[in-house]
Structure 1
Amino acid sequence: MSVVACDPDHELRVLAEFRDGVYRCFGRWADTLFELVDALAGSTRPIRSVAELMFEPVLRRGWGSLYQALERGAVDVVAARALLARHVRPAGVLMFAVDVSKFPRPDTRYVPDVGMQYAAERDSAGGTPVVPGWAVQWLCQVGLGAAGDPKRSWVVPMDLRRVGTADNANDLAAAQIADLAAQLRAGKVPGIPLFLHDVG
């Protein structure tokens, strides 16, 4: 009978490596941006503004620092995508979903490149099913829930890109898929990825 060695600290080391990788993706204002990520990840309630993050215990900075970090900070997006691809969760089949989310901005006069976004919740009410706002396209690993338990469907975000008013979401999806596939090959992630799309 063989005994498999169990390393109780393995997951902690993986988490520490991931957090170190996240920090290295930041340039200017790295400390504040890292605390911002921690505050967002640890929040148990919806965050509607940057100033609300000041109430999160892990954030030690004032709201002014947060705004400055968001405006002046630097993020190495290519390094961040590579980091996420290295941490793809093992699963029976590598499945990824691509979909667009809307971020309504109906009252803004200051946010650039606002377009009309489809709003399904307004379609059934007899109103016009659109709202001014931004469109953002997600690429996430899916199929990570417990076997046979559809209510526990976890996802792991791999990429997020803004769909501008002059952009084509399908072209953007193709670029996201090509970039992730290249990262998976470079990282020697086993399996053939399957990409799921909505009707659009």
Structure 2
Amino acid sequence: MTDKAEAIDVLAEFREQLYRCMTPRADALFELTEALLCTDGPVKRWSGCHLPRSAGAATAPMYNALNHGRTDVEVLCRCLAGLPLPRAADGRLVLAVDVSPWLRPDGKCSPQRSF
């Protein structure tokens, strides 16, 4: 993105497409998705999630959405594949890579391998 406004437009379009991927109970599923994405660290309880004020803490509609809501995975894949790739100012792709070693202290080729 070259412009902050352009990035906001892309995000808004993605959010609309994501919402359209969710079939029954889309409102509650979308709120749950936002809550999960906006929470720091792993979510172990709904009380640790940043749910919107209107949703309360793990109300019946949220559980109903988890039990009966659906996401059209094929549409979601097309939506994700259509997103623009992140680029630096000079046009090069910007990708994030995790290069931390897999913990294998008993591995024959790399003994004592750990962080």
| TM-score, normalisation: structure 1 | 0.40
Tell me the amino acid that sits aligned with residue 35 of structure 2: A
Work out the CA distance in 2 between the residues paired with 1:44 and 1:56: 9
Unmatched runs of 5 consecutive residues or more in structure 1: 1-5, 94-142, 146-152, 155-200
Partner of 2:54: 60
User: Per-residue deviation at 1:7?
Assistant: 4.1
Q: 1 or 2, which has the higher helix percentage?
A: 2
**Counterpart among 31, 37, 44 of residue 48 in structure 1:** 44
**Counterpart among 8, 17, 27 of residue 23 in structure 2:** 27
Work out the CA distance in 1 between the residues paired with 2:63 and 2:13: 27
Q: 1 or 2, which has the higher strand percentage?
A: 1
What is the identity percentage for the equivalent residue pairs of Structure 1 and Structure 2?
Answer: 33
Partner of 1:157: none
Structure 1 stretches of at least 4 aligned residues deviating more than 6 Å after TM superposition: none
Q: Give the aligned length.
A: 91
1:111-131 deviation line (CA, Å, top 9, x unaligned): xxxxxxxxxxxxxxxxxxxxx
Unmatched runs of 5 consecutive residues or more in structure 2: 99-115
1:86-118 deviation line (CA, Å, top 9, x unaligned): 11524657xxxxxxxxxxxxxxxxxxxxxxxxx
Partner of 1:75: 71
Higher relative contact order (CA 8 A, sep 6+): 2
Going from structure 1 to structure 2, the CA distance change for 1:7 and 1:40 (only over 3 Å counts) comes to same
